[in-house]
A and B are shown apart, each in its own frame.
Chain A
Amino acid sequence: MSTLNTQNIETADVIVVGAGMAGSVMAYQLGLAGLKVLVLESGPAIPPNRSEYLERFYTAVLKAPEAPYPPEQTEQAPATQFAPRATIQDLITAGSSDPDKAQKSYLVQKGPQLFASTYERVGGGTMWHWMGTALRLLPNDFRMRTLYNVGVDWPISYDDLQAAYCRAEQEMGVSADVASQAYLGVTFPKGYEYSMHGIPPSLVDQHLGRNVTGTSYQSPERAPDGKPYPAVTLNVRQTPAGRNSQSDNGRRVCAGNTSCTPICPIQAKYDATVTMAKALDTGNVRILYQAVASQVQVDANGVTGIDFIQYQNNGTRQNGTAQGKRYVIAAHAIETPKLLLNSIGPHSPKGVANSSGQVGQALADHPVYLAWGLMPEGKPLFPFRGPLSTSGIEDMRDGPFRSQRAAWRIEIGNEGWNWSVNDPYASVCDFIDGTNEGGANPGHLALSGQALVQQLNSVLTRQFRLGFLVEQVEKDPDNALCRVERSAEFTDGLGLPRPQISYALSDYTKEGFKQARLAATHIITELMGATELTNLNPDPKSGAQTVFEYDGQHYAFYGAGHLMGTYRMGSDRTRSVVDKDQRSWDHPNLFLVGDGVFPTTGTANPTLTITALTFQAADVVASDLLKRTLQVQANQAWQGTGMQVNGQSWQLAVCTGGQWTANPATGMVGAQGNPGLIAKPGYTLPGQNEGALIGRIGDNGEPFLVGQQVQLPRGQQGELQLCINDDLTGRYGAGLSDNLGSLSVEVRFGTV
């Protein structure tokens, strides 16, 4: 191994750290806008096809989320690996009695509980093994402090994110039917449709739907006033999914491989490599792979560069610095704070962007309560068929109980007991060996021949599971118990301090588990008539710190892979790391994007919200560098702005001031024009107000009304031109010659 000391300086308009979901959207939007972008990705390149990843998955014994991806996890040697990551294998080791477990686990787990989620460090990021669930947050998820006096409020509302959610759904190609998704306050623009029709419900969903939908659930819990909460009507509801139900985007339709996690074999499921390919196609984006950002350099004015170490597979390393006008870190809720906290310097004594002390604080997941059941003989549900999940029960994602305990959504699994007990492996071994590890063989039958086939068929076709994604809320959000810090003891193969994790679920979150268990048992036994086989008394010793005790009972929890928090957005710079635009309060040319900005977790799988927020941040970055303000004169015909519209970016023209008139006799007006005078035929834009601000794209573009502000039309390319709505040719009189005044117009990136 060797390090070349030559300093490699790379420059671009914008430096992006991370080629996952947020980094890909950022690079794509900025590349479209015409900015030069350099992406630093710590892991290996996006492969030309997925056959190598698939081969590794097929032959892996532990088919954990990380199984297909490099580096292979058999070694568990993060101290010598250049871009190690958190894995399920690490988690198993961390919960074992292995004397070397601290050294073997990339995450330095300080407890008291284990952080149970993992991620990838490869081109395309953890999106390789996301489930595909593309739920929106609920309006009330944005105002937990105001409504329920817990957590913190977001600095933005659901309505502020509406347009960005639509853009995110379009980018990912989400399959869903709007009618099924308008619940608990979720709204859509009038006439809105998802990209593709919904995914058909599995036989498991259909069976649950028949028994669950329309029933009323009365939770046994009591409000602080001693009264029960209102009963809730349960619905088995289609899950919006970033997977193809149609193939007109060039990728195949879903073939139901039941393998969204760890890998979709046919890329019917959207992933970030789709967007990164489009980013590269702009011709403005390039990626340095195997380039680990190691230090963010800042001075009093902002970031001056990002140091990185690029490594080759033969062990050669080279140091470099990436310099740009804006910097975007898109390395999620663990690697982003790791980088910031490793960047101690004269102008960043607590780490970069950390004057609030909030960097690394309030690490969150959706800890999962898993419950599973076995239908009676003769009532098969036929799991192990279809995408991993196609429906959920979402009706208790919000309610007055949130003042007292965590909400959850219920994901219905299509993979039987694969997640819960590793079936079909466990049951096959049980019925051959006469054991009962999986729970389906209490009689300890040891079978062979046709009796074995029949018994396994009976058991495997009657399995189902429910996954409760529990909202994780800190008791005191300003003094969080769950944290990412820099390890003082352990480094990776590049000598960079590894992330050290403290993790403890609050009583508020644990009470959510308690209520989840009660609801699960109700659904499995009362509504489905099934035998519940959830381990209701997990052993806190054998399961180590993924089992907790609460109110006299033991609960096991699982990771959802939803890393959130650690650099939250807010409206108070002393209590948050970034503002509502995801711009660092401390360093104005630094943006932090991804799930780390979430002030609270809600119960929606986070990818869609990450994507929507990144679209918004990309608008701000692009506007920072490319926004133009110009004067539009009343007495001139079409005036070029010098602003080229590409037909794909989302751009706005906004009138920021001034007055003008197309007819001095009727008085001065603003960009709306004169509402009493409708332009006649022969005017530039007949039927709209005379004197209104109007625009067109290119010399021959169709004129459109700008008014106070407008979303520039997409699908047309050329220079934006602006003009007053008047009789340009003097057909009815003086034409432009008597016009007075001018307007200031700002052209920037964003949505109305």
Chain B
Amino acid sequence: MSDPNLRNFIDLSATLTGLSADRLAPAVDPINLPPVFFATAQQGMGTAAFSNLLELYVSIKGQPPEQIASAVLGNADPQIAQGARSIMKLWLLGSWYQPYDQGNAHAGDTRVLSDQAYKESWAWKIAQSHPMGYSQYHFGYWAEQPATLKQYTGVDAKEGQ
């Protein structure tokens, strides 16, 4: 694993998930999940397909995010399109959803990477909450309005929400 590849993996992840790269991979990161996720995606997709995905990204990374997402998720190569979706789920759910048969893994196989991957998964923050079983809040917080989506994720909530 080389740093530029990891950087590209993080930037691609940020584009696909809508979560900024500095939130996915903070400058000071004691947990340091990105290299774990990189290795997981590489192994799950297979080295060749994973390289193809990153090469594709490098070739289009100057484009607007919507066009990058369209090129990746709508790619004619199903391994790129489905592998990228599994990477999105990995960030949001902390679990690797095997996108297609690869090595000993079968399409649909699912595993939680680690307790840290679960605790740091983004779907819960997107729900303005915490992972079930991992609350860092105080007694009675549930009776009060949560912080905004922007505060949780850096993304503005839908209008009217």
Contacts and interface: CB of A to CB of B under 8 A. Distances in A.
Interface of A: 54-55, 57-61, 63, 200-203, 206, 245, 253-259, 262-263, 265, 377-378, 380, 382-387, 390, 414-416, 418, 424-425, 428-429, 432-433, 446, 448-458, 460-461
B127 A384 contact: yes
Nearest to A414: B142
Contacts of A454: 18, 149, 155-158, 161
A263 B133 contact: yes
Nearest to B142: A386
B128 A457 contact: yes
B49 interface: no
B17 interface: yes
Contact of B97 (A203, A377, A416, A429): A429
B66 A460 contact: no
Contacts of B133: 54, 57-58, 257-259, 262-263, 265
B142 A253 contact: no
Interface of B: 15-19, 65-66, 69, 73, 85, 88-89, 92-93, 95, 97, 110-112, 114-115, 118-119, 123-124, 126-130, 132-146, 149, 153, 155-158, 160-161
Contacts of B137: 255-256
Given A59-B118, A201-B143, A460-B126, A448 B158 contact: no
Contacts of A416: 127
Contacts, number: 175
A511 to B, nearest CB: 34
A61 B149 contact: no
A460 B122 CA distance: 12
Contact of A449 (B18, B85, B93, B135): B18
A451 B97 CA distance: 22
B89 A429 contact: yes
B158 A200 contact: no
13 contacts: A58-B119, A203-B144, A254-B139, A257-B134, A258-B135, A378-B161, A382-B145, A383-B129, A384-B130, A449-B18, A449-B69, A452-B17, A454-B161
Contacts of B114: 58-59
A203 B146 CA distance: 10
Nearest to A68: B133
A385 B88 contact: no
A59 B126 CA distance: 21
Nearest to B138: A255
Nearest to A51: B115
Contact of A59 (B88, B89, B115): B115
A102 to B, nearest CB: 25
Given A55-B115, A255-B138, A385-B129, A433 B85 contact: yes
Contact of B92 (A254, A428, A446): A428
Contacts of B85: 432-433
Contact of A456 (B112, B123, B140, B145): B123
Q: 10 tightest A-B contacts by CB?
A: A386-B142, A259-B133, A58-B115, A460-B127, A450-B18, A200-B143, A384-B129, A448-B69, A424-B123, A449-B18
Contacts of B115: 54-55, 58-59
Given A382-B128, A457-B128, A461-B127, 7 more contacts: A61-B95, A203-B143, A256-B135, A385-B142, A453-B19, A457-B153, A461-B161
A310 B136 CA distance: 41
Contact of B123 (A54, A414, A428, A455): A428
Contacts of A201: 143
A60 B112 CA distance: 6
Contacts of A263: 133
A384 B124 contact: yes
Contacts of B97: 429
